[in-house]
A and B are shown apart, each in its own frame.
Chain A
Amino acid sequence: MLEQVFRDDWGRVVASLVGYLRDIELAEDAAQEAFALAAERWPRDGVPSNPTGWLITTARNRAIDRIRRERTLVAKTELLAGELQEGMEEAMDETACFPDERLELIFTCCHPALALDAQVGLTLRTLGGLSTEEIARAFLVPFETMSKRLTRAKHKIRDAAIPFAVPPEHLLPERLDAVLAVVYLIFNEGWGGGRVDLSTEAIRLGRSLVELMPDEAEAYGLLALMLINHARSASRFHDGELVLLDDQDRSRWDENQIAEGRELLARALALRGSGPYVIQAAIADLHLDEPRDWEEIALLYAKLEEITSSAVVAMNRAIAVAEIEGPEAALALLGRLDLAEYRYYHSTRADLLRRLGRDEEARAAYARALELTEAGPEQRFLESRLADFLEATGTGQSPLTDSNRRPPPKM
């Protein structure tokens, strides 16, 4: 029960406290104390009728207490100094209704004046309620590193007065992009690395965004995109090995998530959404059909390429073009892209070359893709692809020995 309240309310309580205290560190500490107090009291005295209100009021009072104890801090926190002089301590009001300030908080955490990794970490910490240990583990960095990164960001927000507000109209599109990018990054971190809890967390954040900004087509688009992709997560791996979309067991797809994703996509389109997330969601949706409508997919990728000018998007369009016009046309498109360090570029080229029977080049491209891939299911998939291919073409021994598979260690 308390665990559930914690997950659901942490973001709201912290947001409300940041709005009041203008200091994320103080807000988090106070929220933590309030939640600890709840864990102690609620089982004994019963859960209050308005748990969120109870937590916010308790945390506020705790914060005021703490500031009283640390008088030096008062000078720094002008807002509180004023309120403290009046000696106001809030009485517990079970019916007190606090506005939801999570949107203000997420725009603060994703402010472009903060480094991207700090934006991601702060969002997971303050809105997602993940502990610093959990975030450090998810991003494979030592606890100390993550802790320092978060502290530095919190101090910058306080000292440089990064606003706690929904940006004004003229800044909103750009700032909203930053927020969506952070959420999508969290989602992909959970997807590519097989750490499903982060994907679930991103979906939770995506749901909050849709709830808080019901007129933003791109927020719907992002949530739709995440749900449609996530619906296939159970079928992406079989016995720890990567399974391509065409070979996935469709009975293991989560029909509810797909249905919800499609409904959200429809709503985004009804809002006349045509931004990058809406388009990506539409593409993800088309990929679920059998047979796939490659013409439509190529068209949407072309539209996405126009907006993003991304070489990766251009590569994906080439994959669709291969299905319509054949591998030759796709290879010609790939030849114009500058993606030499991108592993999927080489695996895509390898696949097209294989289909054209250009064996030597295909083998070299697979080998290059492998060099750029970290150990794990994806590497094993490429290895098995390469092995199959070598067997089929009768070229025998794999050219990849352990010594030349990985780049030499840096001194």
Chain B
Amino acid sequence: MKYALLIYGNSDVLAAWPEEEWRRVNAGVAEVVARPDVPDYLRLQGPSTATTLRNEQGGSLLTDGPFVDSKDFLGGFIIVEAENLDGALAVAEELQQLRMGGAIEVRPVNEEPLVRA
């Protein structure tokens, strides 16, 4: 089964990180995403680069910033191939051990086709 690990960071915590802390964490993450049970991952640029479209009054409204404006923001995804939830939680736990300062949400990937043949 495929699971997505949604990596959340906290802007206050990350702002205080020195260069060497970034190097340490990135090296740890690089090790995890290089493994065969991690088929894919995606890093996002910071929330200040986000643009959000909302449906409003019959049209689309553009706003500057992420959909949910909060100190906690989505930093990226790591896809994990695991036999069950415990397998995915083990990888998340490993990442948590790097003390990235935020939270990791684990969600099973919906692998059903969008349109049935």
Contacts and interface: CB of A to CB of B under 8 A. Distances in A.
Interface of A: 111, 113, 159-163, 165, 167, 171
Given A159-B108, A160-B108, A161-B1, A113 B89 contact: yes
B85 A167 contact: no
A111 B85 CA distance: 10
B89 to A, nearest CB: 7
A173 B86 CA distance: 15
B114 to A, nearest CB: 14
15 contacts: A113-B85, A113-B89, A159-B108, A160-B106, A161-B83, A161-B85, A161-B108, A162-B84, A162-B85, A163-B83, A163-B84, A163-B85, A163-B86, A165-B84, A171-B86
Interface in B52-86: 83-86
Contacts of A165: 84
A271 to B, nearest CB: 27
A171 B93 CA distance: 12
Interface residues of B, number: 9
Among B83, B84, B86, max chain A CB count under 10 A is at B86
Interface of B: 1, 83-86, 89, 106-108
Provide the main secondary structure of the chain B interface: mixed
Given A163-B84, A163-B85, A165-B84, 6 more contacts: A111-B85, A113-B85, A160-B108, A161-B1, A161-B84, A162-B85
A161 B108 CA distance: 8
B112 to A, nearest CB: 8
A160 B86 contact: no
Among A111, A161, A163, max chain B CB count under 10 A is at A161
Contacts of A167: 86
